[in-house]
Chains A and B, each alone.
Chain A
């Protein structure tokens, strides 16, 4: 890797990190696992003057039970998420999706917060966080604030984080009884980004799908909820046919990109097919 020149600090506390970042202005970037930022530096698509490495800040890592929600430190790695018992018990969708990210080396280095702050709509975890109705916590020079996942992803590679703000934690409401989930990732090789990914959650009640939440990966400049399909799935019987019919609305309102791995119409088709499969798997049929 031959990046352009940059300065580098590795603060040991969050306060120091916030002030280092604020001091660096617009040309300062936070680096955690580096799995998204380093490729940009290598290709010289990013030229930060200062990297603030949050890798030494212990409080940013780990999962804690806060009653109705789990608090996941932003620096928690994909690998930690895959094996975490609290996540397995209360929001297994996140672990399932984290297990599909790239390869073991990336999963050991890459972090949940890094993936969300990078906000690549082709990344797996943004759509999952959106479907889980999570809340993100950011710390800046002005203190701490909370941002709902729905408001966090603003545009391609752009979040609601202000310059000087560090994403510190992700709060995920625990899934209660009756919820099932599935992340359907469609990609050509194990290490490739999703052409389309579907994060589906369903709550079953009396043989019906009472509620469905669907987050879509790589179906627009930001991760999106398939709200039309969610409405169509709510209240239908938990059957392949009914869920497949609901999934026919999955691409409504999306703006899928076109690239070497799929034109927009193919992505729309995949979103419908995969949503049907994800809903069925989530509902256990």
Chain B
């Protein structure tokens, strides 16, 4: 089957219109309430004391001085809450024999990372609470830290948990991998490091809990209010029906807020103890230590190919750092990558193994892209190595192996069926915008004239899986929840429309995009639609927002609910127009008989449904409709990103000179939002390539606890991007949409590093560990030069 690939033109209807985001007025003028802005009568403030040790036994916690501090209302240690705090759940036990240690929200007898919560203070203001923390006396008996994943797997290693440091081993294999590698003319093996990243949303985490009788309202800066409600109920034993969870406007998450956090449990338990509303808001340093981290995998990747560049097989062996405990979906993150190492390429065999490892570090979980950026990085890096080995252009070796446009839908070696794609079109467009051939010429000219600033070109032809997820498949992967999404359309008597969605936007622009989908389907003005979300009382059902799922699953649910509204309206229109329903056409928000004549607008029908004077017999007086959509498949956006980087060989400084991104995210609801996601995504991927790394010292202290040490790039550090799109609709949902939240992040990291290596390959450099800091680049150059220069080798005596 072939799907049409189009370059975008100005749309006639709402879908595809470049509307400014309706939520931005309040977000950028401060006319909103973030969780930390919430004040309630009698509100008190909680602060958490966190472990300064990576690993230690707690032998004594003395809270008496803290309790005597002015303004302090209560103080609790882990032992005080031990009977009621339960254990933080992991909902993705990826194997039958996975080790799932107890994870107390507040440590009781042992701390396992710097930042583990040990005690809390509740005070009349946050200053008194912070002052009181300093008076808590804790005796620790230090235990050996466990930091290196390979060393942790040694049987003599100190243990993070009694059951050992190996959490799980998960494998996937298809095809005859031995045959693929046996006698293969080309075999390349590389080790890559996915450094630890700290998600760093602009708004740190914050929780407010108001107990009223035996009911609790919880505000949390979360991506997942529905999941928080369920898990909070399961962990605390408070009935789900007595919990209301509200995610007000949330200032970014990047995966860090898809978590069900220990601090949510502690805030609720403490609010119950003190009988007053309690607020907890973390500082940036606290966020860096105790909010979950991302990535942190060691990758070994082997590729076997024929001399003509055809891939025979791919083998991947991962170590994935779980940190000290299992977070909500932590063990599953590498599995999301397992299906993506084969990327857009055809091959005969594939094998994948991931070993999850416990260490005494901050626990890890989803971070923008979640498994897929790691996979894309490794395959796109080794494709460049393959091209070098074969003396081929990196785009040529990719094209030789990628799935052709006419071959979709295509079932890959990893077992997923890609819905649609057109790698040829996206790549051709990217090459043209990038001026690929011209830059290649400049690259060789610089080498010939001995320019100390080298130019490199990096390629990334990526795909990813979005639209999480078919519930059946999630079940097969041992994920304990489904992947459906819910929407409800409420047509008000005056013809205005309320859309209730189970997605939970935290910067994505759902209020605008869902309004466009609704306006387009119902023919009502965009301004007449209001989107309600992020409050379990208002939007009682939903699976929330992560993994680029919202438009694909949640947007489809909105669309599907709209179609049900239209069918109800059709019945009323038929009655009012005295025509058979099947003869009515619905266009531009009005019903009209196919032969012409009178028409009825959706607004008129809305009022008719409300006054209910003249409805068809037996019909309920309402147009309201809802829909719960379980996707039949993932969707697979793709694209070609090209990066030109200049590397100053005297200082090691890398400067991105130009960056072209051609993304194919299927049909587009709002091109401005897509553009924004691509820009932010590329920035975040560049951040991994060049800037960000969570670093521990040998004792397990996190050294990157402030934004002065953990370098998040700003607009001043990033190039202007050239972005464009091709449009190959998804075939698995009626809107043809694919998802875009993570595409830029997934694509850009390998594009940038490939460019750096391309610039330095003539010096004999084939890898630099991320982030490619100036110092690392300079050291790589120095080391390559000393190896390449015989006199230096003799003098240095290291080679």
Contact = CB atoms under 8 A, between A and B. Distances in A.
Contacts of B131: 4-5
A243 to B, nearest CB: 14
Given A5-B131, A273-B650, A192 B708 contact: yes
Interface residues of B, number: 28
A263 B652 CA distance: 14
A99 B712 CA distance: 21
Given A189-B691, A189-B713, A190-B717, A261 B775 contact: yes
Contacts of A273: 650-651
Interface string A168-196: 00000000000000000010111111010
Most chain A beta carbons < 10 A, residue from B653, B704, B775, B778: B775
B775 A263 contact: yes
Contacts of B126: 2
Contact of A190 (B703, B704, B716, B773): B716
A50 interface: no
Contacts of A266: 775, 778-779
Interface string B637-680: 00000000000001101000000000000000000000000000
Interface in B103-154: 126-127, 130-131
Nearest to A266: B775
A189 B653 CA distance: 11
Interface string A19-35: 00000000000000000
A190 B285 contact: no
Interface in A5-63: 5, 42-44
A273 B712 CA distance: 26
Interface in B689-722: 690-691, 695, 703-704, 706, 708-709, 711-714, 716-717
A189 B708 contact: no
A5 B127 contact: yes
Contact of A188 (B127, B650, B691, B704): B691
Contacts of A43: 285, 706
Contacts of A261: 773, 775
A260 B703 contact: yes
A108 interface: no
Contacts of A44: 130
Contacts of B650: 273
B651 A270 contact: yes
B358 to A, nearest CB: 25
A189 B773 contact: no
A72 B280 CA distance: 45
B706 A189 contact: no
A42 B283 CA distance: 9
B775 A262 contact: yes
Contact of B653 (A5, A186, A263): A186
Contacts of B653: 186
A267 to B, nearest CB: 9
Given A43-B706, A273-B650, A273-B651, A191 B775 contact: no
Nearest to A273: B650
A273 B650 CA distance: 7
B114 to A, nearest CB: 16
Contacts of A192: 708, 711
A75 to B, nearest CB: 24
Interface in A184-213: 186, 188-193, 195
A103 B775 contact: no
A88 B773 CA distance: 34
A188 B706 CA distance: 15
A188 B716 contact: no
Contacts of A190: 714, 716-717
Contacts of B703: 260
Contacts of B711: 188-189, 192
A145 interface: no
B774 interface: yes
Nearest to B125: A2
Contacts of B714: 103, 189-191
Contact of A2 (B283, B712, B778): B283
A172 to B, nearest CB: 28
Interface string B262-305: 00000000000000000000010100000000000000000000
A269 B648 CA distance: 14
A106 to B, nearest CB: 12
Interface string B173-195: 00000000000000000000000
Interface in A235-263: 260-263
A188 B708 contact: no
B775 A186 contact: no
Contact of B716 (A2, A103, A186, A195): A103
Nearest to A269: B778
A208 to B, nearest CB: 25
Contact of B717 (A186, A189, A270, A274): A189
A5 B650 CA distance: 48
Contacts of B285: 43
Interface string A137-160: 000000000000000000000000
B130 A2 contact: yes
Contacts of A260: 695, 703-704, 709
A266 B782 CA distance: 11
B798 to A, nearest CB: 15
Nearest to B705: A43
Nearest to A274: B651
A42 B285 CA distance: 10
Nearest to B779: A266
B197 to A, nearest CB: 15
Given A192-B708, A263-B775, A186 B130 contact: no
Contacts of A262: 774-775
A216 to B, nearest CB: 16
Nearest to A190: B716
A94 B229 CA distance: 57
B323 to A, nearest CB: 20
B46 to A, nearest CB: 12
A192 B773 CA distance: 13
Contacts of B651: 186, 270, 273-274
A127 to B, nearest CB: 18
A262 B127 CA distance: 36
Nearest to A2: B130
Given A43-B706, A273-B650, A273-B651, A188 B695 contact: no
A42 B703 CA distance: 17
A192 B130 CA distance: 28
A266 B674 CA distance: 41
A218 to B, nearest CB: 13
Nearest to B653: A186
Nearest to A259: B709
B47 to A, nearest CB: 8
A192 B712 CA distance: 10
Contacts of A103: 714, 716
A266 B783 CA distance: 13
A273 B453 CA distance: 14
A44 B703 CA distance: 17
B690 to A, nearest CB: 8
A269 B127 CA distance: 45
Contact of B773 (A4, A188, A269): A188
A273 B691 CA distance: 22
Contacts of B708: 192-193
Interface in B763-792: 773-775, 778-779
B458 to A, nearest CB: 19
Nearest to B284: A42
A130 B716 CA distance: 28
B616 to A, nearest CB: 63
6 contacts: A2-B126, A103-B716, A188-B690, A191-B714, A260-B709, A266-B778
Given A188-B773, A263-B775, 4 more contacts: A5-B127, A190-B714, A266-B778, A273-B650
Would you list the 5 A-B pairs with minimal beta carbon distance, nearest first? A190-B716, A2-B130, A189-B717, A266-B775, A189-B711
Interface of A: 2-5, 42-44, 103, 186, 188-193, 195, 260-263, 266, 269-270, 273-274
